Structure 1
Amino acid sequence: MSGDLYRLAMTVLHPGYEGTSAPDWLRRALGEGLGGVVLFARNAIDDRLIRDFRAENPDTVVSVDEEGGAVTRLEVMAGSSFPGNRALGVVDDVKLTEQVGRQIGRMLADLDITLNYAPSADVNSDPANPVIGVRSFGPTPELVSRHTVAYVNGVQGAGVAACAKHFPGHGDTITDSHLALPTVHASREVLAERDLPPFRAAIDAGVRSIMSGHLLIPALDPSMPATLSRTAMTELLRGELGFDGMLVTDAIEMRAVAAMFDPGEIAVRALGAGVDAICVGLSTEESLHAIRDAIVAAVRNGTLPEERLAQAAERVRALSSWYAAQAALRQEVHDDVDEGVGLRAARAALTTQGSATLDRGPLVVEINTRFSKAVDPATPTGITAALTSLLPDTERVQLEPEGGELPAFDERPVVLVAHDAARHAWVRDTVARALALRPDAIVVDTGIAAAPEGATHVATHGISRVSALAAAEWLLR
């Protein structure tokens, strides 16, 4: 194995790992040219950890999913300080979206994180979508396009690279790609008019990275998911849309592709399709070496041209170089602290029906839904915590997913906390049963909402600490 080929293969691999400190094998891999590391909440992210990475390889592309709202890795226990995309789309103030993006970018810059896997540029055209939902700015390409650009400008204006995802668009699916392969049944014309405009807009705005979606789109390629399709990745994204930045896969252990091929084969096919960086959400030394060796073997046997691997590695290095060149900008924005922007945005996003004023602690009934795999399991909806901070005698009851027996109601006020009522008939039925017993109950929905007729209803349009606080303030006003 030539040292150069080995190093090229390592450069395009961007693994995640288990544990709160950098394992020895990861340190060794960084010293051997590993191109990137992907961080999750389980890794206890702080500046010391990232200094450890950079001590081994100063050019490491350190990446994280910090969308704001439901998808946060840095604020997972308390909830995000920023509302998610749907809330920003409801407000529809691009200046505010850019300010939120800038503060998220500033937070990452202070930790020396290279790349934010955000924003979601997906148009949530199917309200039943199980994985995008409130992670999208909304249901129309025009709305999503202008806020994608604003978010990209905000993050990159703080000296951190942004990443528009999930190309060519994950909004028109009823399957979560973490669990199975979704199919987008749309013509090329519909894709061009509905799904591609936000990505075109992001490219025109200079987005440094794009993430592929594990999506089968027969109009583009009837046999391979977009991540593994040269038609989607090279002909469409590189050729037609003109993107020349770093193209990264969504995590390759997701069942949409993992059910088809082993990790090494996925990596080789993705690189051949035109992808530059392989995101491996959870890796070990053995699995990392297996993927590396599969890439090297593919080059040696002619399956993967060495020129394609070299081009991919160069795009990874180019992203790292861009980040290094933004050092002065990151220093400039270090003191540009706007601690209130997230709460201002969350307050502006509230949609309300009816009226109510809580004067004592309510009984909060959480009608729990299972969040998508993109959301860390520890992420709270936050409504109960926000109400308790204002009314200490607040009490919570949690119902199991798919329903469950309602608690016995007494004279206390009742707050029903739902998520994605528009998506789940059982959530709507549970709310209706509760309202039949307590017509004065207040309904708070943190997702894609469906307001019950005649009830007091608050929609936050997302899960975050500030969205919960904004709702609690409204209920106590």
Structure 2
Amino acid sequence: MTDELTRLANAVLWPGFFGTEAPEWLLAELRDGLAGVVYFGQNMSERLPELSAALRAANPDALIGIDEEGGSVTRLESATGSTLPGAAQLGAVDDVEASCATGAELARRAREAGIDVVLGPVADVNTDPRNPVIGVRSFGADPALVSRHVAATIEGLQTGGVAACVKHFPGHGDTHLDSHHALPEITLDPAEIEAVHLEPFRAAIAAGVDTVMTAHIVVPAWGAKPATLNPDVLGRLRDLGFEGVIITDALDMAAVRESVGIGGGAVQALAAGADLLCIGNPTNPGAAALPDQDERDFFAAREAVVAALRDGSLPRERVEQARDRVRALAAKLRAAEPAAQGAYDAAAIVRRALRVVGEPDAAASALSVVDARRRSTLAVDSAAGYVAAALAGDGFRARLDVDRASEAERDAALEAARAAGGRLVLLVDRPEVEPAQRALIEHVAARDSGAVVVNVGLPVRGELPLPFIDAAAASRISAEVARELLTA
């Protein structure tokens, strides 16, 4: 029989898992009060609603979350690419009704799959163009713009019957490191953090957001620990008036795993004021992930919490407070009645967001795509093949790792694209901050004035030596709309 402290620990844990069916260890823990699960790409199949039903049969109060943002970050459509606008596209359109409607459509899709917590929208103000992990996941670099679209998206999600989760408090927008691999620091003046990076979180709280996700970032002015483990930072969130569930970013990310460990991170996060511990995506260790990494990570966190409860180093009252907040959210979602949703046209929003600079030659009958985007990260499938496939249609496409390719390999890829007969399209995502992408564009411009660039990363602030389309999302729908513009 599971003891009382183990059930208490289970009530604040939120693991990911491998596979498209629930493993027996997970079902057993759900029956013993586990708070729920988080879905990632490896859990997706056409039987997702049946998977959700099996999880809820084990625990009717289970919170089922998904790391889904639309645009460049999708799990629901991880195999084929998102058909929803991304945050940067919505920010470019700057129509709060479009953001609200997009949130409502995402809520509809989530509920259809048996999901009731959406880990979005991103409330980070992307003020560093080098940012490798946020970028177009943010609505933009202006706190007022980000704030109004965060609030509108929350309204759409939560009137649609799911809980929204704004992330990543206190703001991940001014970093140039990825917390999946390192521990970023925010060295800004605290007054700037308050005025710029906290503003969208204030707007989210005013909009009644159900949950807030922490960031594994250090603000030295507020202490040496990352925000997820820092009672001062999480106390500031409560001081802003937030009374809902504080969810940690994944404790298996390197920023925690390789510093205090998953178990230490679990105990410290609860002590700091977090309520629901996202143990996260068991693929986070990358190639080092073991076949049973999901189970190992869960029990590492659970055993550490139970041990800290037993020896009194983690106050039981703190964990009971967290459990009660999680239970209250589950009860609210069980009683939710989604509002009626009007007609929704994602492609129309994306068409409004795309920016064409320069004058591409007359419409081409075929496109030959050379995909020169950076390699995928754990947060974003940056090099997803579905983007290039949708852009090329039936035409030629090739992948070119410009950071590693020799001149001969580069020239061979370009020559193969030209030989295929379609208009040459360079698919990039960081032309202003990645020298190799910029060099490729300049190389092609000197030899093929009819080529065009499609940029799925942050919009270009200056000029490029070729006509270009700023798409602002690495998604299937963005590529399809860009293809329409080039072939119509």
TM-score band w.r.t. shorter chain:
over 0.9
**For 1:87-134, what per-residue CA distance to the aligned partner results, in whole angstroms no more than 9, with x for missing partners?**
110111111111111100110011221100000000001111010000
- Equivalent residues of 1:352, 1:456 under 8 A apart: yes
Q: Is the 8 A contact 1:209 1:246 kept in 2?
A: yes
Partner of 1:26 in structure 2? 26
Q: Tell me what 2:478 maps to.
A: 467
Aligned residue identity for 2:485: W
* Partners of 2:401 and 2:237 in 1: CA distance: 43
2: CA distance between counterparts of 1:292 and 1:417? 44
| Preserved CA contact (<8 Å) 1:403 1:430 | no
1:25-44 to structure 2, matched below 5 A, reads 25-44=25-44
The amino acid of 1:436's aligned partner reads A
Contact preservation (8 Å) 1:148, 1:201: yes
One-letter amino acid of the structure 2 residue matched with residue 252 of structure 1: L
Q: What's 1:215 paired with?
A: 217
Tell me, what secondary structure is at the counterpart of 1:352? strand
Cα 1:381–1:128 change in 2 (3 A) is: farther
The 3 A distance-change label for structure 1 pair 475 and 284 is closer
Question: Within 5 A, what are the aligned runs for 1:39-54?
Answer: 39-45=39-45, 46-54=48-56
Alignment counterpart, residue 109 of structure 1, candidates 83, 108, 111? 111
- Structure 1 length normalisation: TM-score? 0.94
Tell me which residue corresponds to 1:5.
5
Q: CA deviation at 1:426?
A: 1.1
- Indicate conservation of the 8 Å contact 2:222/2:232, yes or no: yes
What amino acid maps onto 1:19 in structure 2?
Answer: G
Counterpart of 2:449 (choices 439, 447, 462) is 439
- Counterpart of 1:344 in structure 2 is 348
The code of the aligned residue for 2:478 comes to S
**Equivalent residues in 2 for 1:150-161, closer than 5 Å:** 150-161=152-163
The Cα shift of 1:270 comes to: 0.2
The answer to whether the 8 A contact 2:364-2:486 is kept is: no
Give unmatched runs, 5+ long, in structure 2.
283-292
Structure-2 residue corresponding to 1:361? 366
- What pairs up with 1:148-227 in 2 under 5 angstroms? 148-221=150-223, 223-227=224-228
Query: C-alpha displacement at 1:352, in angstroms?
Result: 0.7
User: Match of 1:382, SS?
Assistant: helix
Which residue is 2:237 aligned to? 237
**Is the CA contact 1:83–1:463 (under 8 Å) kept in the aligned structure 2?**
no
Return structure 1 stretches of 4+ with deviation > 6 angstroms: none
Find the residue that maps to 2:375 and give its secondary structure. coil
Q: What secondary structure does 2:220 align onto?
A: coil
TM-score when normalising by structure 2: 0.92
How big is the shift at 1:360?
A: 2.1
Partner of 2:192: helix, strand, or coil?
A: helix
Q: CA deviation at 1:284?
A: 3.5
Q: Match for 1:97 among 93, 96, 99?
A: 99
Note the 1:408-423 alignment, pairs <5 A.
408=415, 409-410=418-419, 412-423=422-433
Contact 2:371 2:388 in 1 (8 A): no
For 2:436 and 2:359, how far apart are their aligned partners in 1? 25
Q: Partners in 1 of 2:383 and 2:443 — Cα distance? A: 28
Deviation at 1:363, TM superposition (A): 1.8
Q: How far 1:456 moved relative to its partner? A: 1.4
Matched residue type, 2:60: P
Aligned twin of 2:287: none
Residue 361 to residue 271, structure 1, CA distance change in 2 (3 Å)? same
CA drift of 1:371 comes to 3.1
In 2 relative to 1, CA 35–47 (structure 1 residues): closer, same or farther, beyond 3 Å? same
1:452, CA displacement in angstroms?
Answer: 4.2
Report if the CA contact (8 A) 1:123-1:194 is conserved: yes
What secondary structure is seen at the aligned counterpart in 1 of 2:446?
helix
Q: Output the CA distance in 1 between the equivalents of 2:24 and 2:311.
A: 32
- For the residue of structure 2 that corresponds to 1:417, the secondary structure is strand
1:4 CA displacement: 2.6
CA contact (8 A) 1:182 1:216 kept: yes
Moved more, 378-387 or 145-154: 378-387
> In 2, distance between residues paired with 1:366 and 1:259?
33
Contact 1:227 1:270 in 2 (8 A): yes
Where does 1:314-353 land on structure 2 (aligned, <5 Å)? 314-326=324-336, 328-329=337-338, 333=340, 336=341, 338-340=343-345, 342-353=346-357
What CA distance in whole angstroms lies between the structure 1 residues aligned with 2:425 and 2:268? 50
Provide the C-alpha distance between the structure 1 equivalents of 2:403 and 2:135, rounded to a whole number of angstroms: 19
Which one-letter code corresponds to 1:462 in the other structure? A
Task: Give 1:113-128 correspondences, 5 Å limit.
Answer: 113-128=115-130
Secondary structure, in 3 states, of the residue corresponding to 1:122? coil
Equivalent pairs counted in the alignment come to 464
* Aligned-pair CA distance for 1:362: 2.4
Q: Deviations over 1:129-149 (max 9, x none)?
A: 010000000001101000000
Higher relative contact order by CA 8 Å / sep ≥ 6: 1 or 2? 1
Give a deviation string over 1:151-177, Cα, whole Å, max 9, x none: 111111100000000000000001000
Contact map agreement 1:421 1:449 (CA 8 A) in 2: no
The one-letter code matched in structure 2 to 1:31 is R
Unpaired runs of 5+ residues, structure 1, are: none
Work out the CA distance in 2 between the residues paired with 1:453 and 1:305: 58
Whether contact under 8 Å (2:155, 2:207) holds in the other structure is yes
Shift, 1:453, TM fit: 3.8
More divergent stretch after superposition (412-421 vs 306-315): 412-421
Q: Distance in 2 between matches of 1:83 and 1:184?
A: 29
User: Is the contact between residue 103 and residue 337 of structure 1 (CA under 8 Å) also seen in structure 2?
Assistant: no
* Residue identity (%): 41
1:69–1:463 CA contact under 8 A, matched in 2? yes
